[in-house]
Amino acid sequence: MPNYRSRRGWWTQGRIDLLVELAWSKSARQLAGLLGTTRMAVIGKANRLGVKMQPRRDGFTDEQRHARRLAGIAARERVTRFYDPEKRRARHAANRERDNARSRASYARTAGRPMQEYRPRERATQVQLTEPTPLNIGLDQLTSTTCRWPTAGSGLSICFCGHCAEGPSYCAPHHQIAYAYVNEKRR
């Protein structure tokens, strides 16, 4: 991939002359291959210079096209694809038949098997931890290793559990209470 930031002086006079000379006879992709750059760089430079690129892909220059017109030779006609509703209906019916055949085959494979009865997943029993008696420490006494479970009070006079926190915030019993809903949703 070329480094475009270091290409400030890339368009030399020789490259510009080659671009102007071959613009009518070559496509932008062919010019890009000759010049060693991208198609869009060639189109952009030609546009900034006001040079008209090859307008059609029929392989003729303007002079050749004009001579053919004078000689009475018709231009190549494009093959137009038109919408055919009958072909569309036939394609739709074939797809539907194929899907129905797959469904019938799938049902035939499983028809002789007994149905498995539904058994709900057994949940792991949680050990109920007894809630410790809170130490009722104040906000100023909290550290990074104490349980932050609020136990009493409100506002600035709130008290916290204060036991040793096993997780990031709470002791084991309060951690189980705090994250019980999350664990229930995961099951």
Query: Between residues 92 and 165, which one has the greater pLDDT?
Result: 92
Q: 34 lies in a domain?
A: yes
Reduced to 3 states (helix: H, G, I; strand: E, B; else coil), residue 115 is coil
Q: Binning pLDDT at 50, 70 and 90, where does residue 127 land?
A: low
Measured between alpha carbons, how far is 118 from 62 in angstroms, rounded to an integer?
Answer: 77
Tokens of residue 180, six digits: 């019980």
CA distances from 41 to 3, 35, 37, 48, 51 (A): 13, 10, 7, 11, 13
Q: Binning pLDDT at 50, 70 and 90, where does residue 143 land?
A: confident
On whether the CB atoms of residues 124 and 148 are closer than 8 A, the answer is no
Q: 85 lies in a domain?
A: no
**What pLDDT does residue 41 have?**
93
Q: 54 lies in a domain?
A: yes
Q: What is the mean pLDDT of residues 127-156?
A: 80
Q: 91 lies in a domain?
A: no
Tokens of residue 113, six digits: 């098997």
Q: 120 lies in a domain?
A: no
Q: Binning pLDDT at 50, 70 and 90, where does residue 94 land?
A: very high
Digit-coded pLDDT (tens) for 34-70: 999 999 999 999 999 998 886 655 666 778 777 877 8
Query: Between residues 7 and 12, which one has the greater pLDDT?
Result: 12
Q: 11 lies in a domain?
A: yes
Domain count, the chain: 2
Q: Please say which residue of 35, 65, 95 terminates a domain.
A: 65
Q: 145 lies in a domain?
A: yes
Q: 36 lies in a domain?
A: yes
Task: Show the domain range for 41.
Answer: 6-65
On whether the CB atoms of residues 39 and 29 are closer than 8 A, the answer is yes
